Amino acid sequence: MRFVHTADWHLGRIFHGVHLTEDQAYVLDELTEIVRDARPDVVIVAGDIYDRAVPPQDAVSLLDDVLSRLVAKVGVPVVLIAGNHDSPERLSFGARLLANSNLHVFGSLLPECCPVVIEDDFGPVNIYAIPFAEPPVVREKIGGDDIRDHDSALRQILQHITARQPADRRSILVAHAAVVGGKTSDSERPLSIGGSETVEPAIFEGFDYVALGHLHQPQFSGEDHIQYSGSILKYSFSEASHEKSVTIVEMDATGKCAIERIALSPRRDVRRIEGTLEDILEKARSDENQDDYIMVTLLDRQPVLNAMGRLREVYPNTLHIERPLVAASTMHAQAPADHLRLSEAEMFSSFFSQVTGEEMTEPEARAFADIIEALRRREREAT
């Protein structure tokens, strides 16, 4: 059997104020072509389809378009689960009807996990799709008084599955979880507030392949057949060094898997650039990828006039500036107690320069003073 494993699309994502829908559409077109060329038996999407529970309209339209092409035009079944960013109920609307068209959507956790069965030349393969669920939800749907955290919750679900899995049948598990020891990124939302959110890789024993979602860097966990495909795009500057990809898996008659990653090429990369402003501007002249999303670490020690404006002349998608040397000198120059003696204007001026990497202009300072005065006048009139 050949199948494609992908995850963490995060449709509707906003990156430093930039809507990424066009970038996501571009890379999903590429994914669709990879699927068309690979001719797999099934495509697996392991959660975080949307970036938030109530996705924007263009994200919903994009998902509808991509799934329609994969299922109806390319002609490959799709198995898709909800992740911790998704609304289970919204994602699984019409799931029972869609299953008749080879689109298998698992939004809410069900008391019984019935597999999707895919046939290949060697016989049937059971695909068990487990949508993300908090431990209290697992206690309600599956039962188990000893469920305290994500590890015990997922363990309880898998015990129900393995007890019913035929010993001579190959199996794939699809889940959305944080496995102990996994490499994390800044863009991943914690699975729980307080308590333990990680699971041990040993709980996946008995499955021939485990298709995971949640961690954005492609990686294996514990054993080669326990895989994160990673996200389709870089969703934070901490992921600048990642190579995003789609995982293609060949499973033989015994369940042994050969794993290949096919790199994705985004419309715009996410990069970090470091140096003095003049050095960066000079090197930009020969940079062929000036439209990339850029984070700049400026190493100038002296004040820099209109740094963001000058950078955006050569890198129009400069999204963030850091001034570590200036920040360090400011921290050494001022004791923490000094902040208590700063005026509102001084505090805002400091905040403004830290966020933008630029000093406030006189008109901006006057505008801030006018706003403060208007608020004070309104407060006096109210009393």
What's the rounded Cα separation, in Å, for the pair 102 and 247?
21
Helix 21-38 vs helix 57-68: crossing angle, to nearest 10: 10
Cβ–Cβ under 8 Å, residues 159 and 113: no
- What domains does the chain contain, in order, with CATH numbers? 2-263 (3.60.21.10), 270-382 (no CATH)
* pLDDT on residue 342: 62
Mean pLDDT throughout 309-325?
Answer: 93
pLDDT tens for residues 71-108? 999 999 999 999 999 999 999 899 889 999 999 999 99
List beta partners, residue 275: 298
Cβ–Cβ under 8 Å, residues 202 and 222: yes
Token look-up 């294996």 returns: 220
* pLDDT on residue 233: 97
What's the rounded Cα separation, in Å, for the pair 223 and 220?
6
* pLDDT on residue 355: 67
Lowest-confidence segment of 72-76, 226-230, 333-337 by average pLDDT: 333-337
Strand 170-176, strand 123-129: pairing: parallel
pLDDT tens for residues 344-369? 787 788 778 766 767 889 888 889 98
Other CB atoms within a 10 A radius of the CB of residue 344 amount to: 10
What's the rounded Cα separation, in Å, for the pair 33 and 29?
6
Can you list the positions of beta strands (E) in 23-182?
42-46, 78-81, 103-106, 116-120, 123-129, 170-176, 178-179
* pLDDT on residue 329: 53
Question: Is the torsion defined by CA of 170, 75, 227, 215 positive or negative?
Answer: negative
pLDDT tens for residues 1-41? 999 999 999 999 999 999 999 999 999 999 999 999 999 99
> In whole numbers, what is the pLDDT of the chain averaged over residues?
90
On the question of pLDDT at 341 being above 60, the answer is: no
Q: What is the pTM of this model?
A: 0.83
* pLDDT on residue 339: 45
Cβ–Cβ under 8 Å, residues 301 and 324: no
pLDDT tens for residues 122-143? 999 999 999 998 888 998 888 8
pLDDT tens for residues 244-285? 999 999 999 999 999 999 999 999 999 999 999 999 999 999
Higher-scoring residue by pLDDT: 205, 330: 205
Cβ–Cβ under 8 Å, residues 39 and 32: no
CA 108 to chain centre: 20
What's the rounded Cα separation, in Å, for the pair 297 and 295?
7
* pLDDT on residue 169: 94
* pLDDT on residue 63: 97
pLDDT category, 194, cuts 50, 70, 90?
very low
List beta partners, residue 81: 46, 106
Half-sphere exposure of 216 (CA within 13 A, CB side): 23
* pLDDT on residue 113: 86
Cβ–Cβ under 8 Å, residues 182 and 228: yes
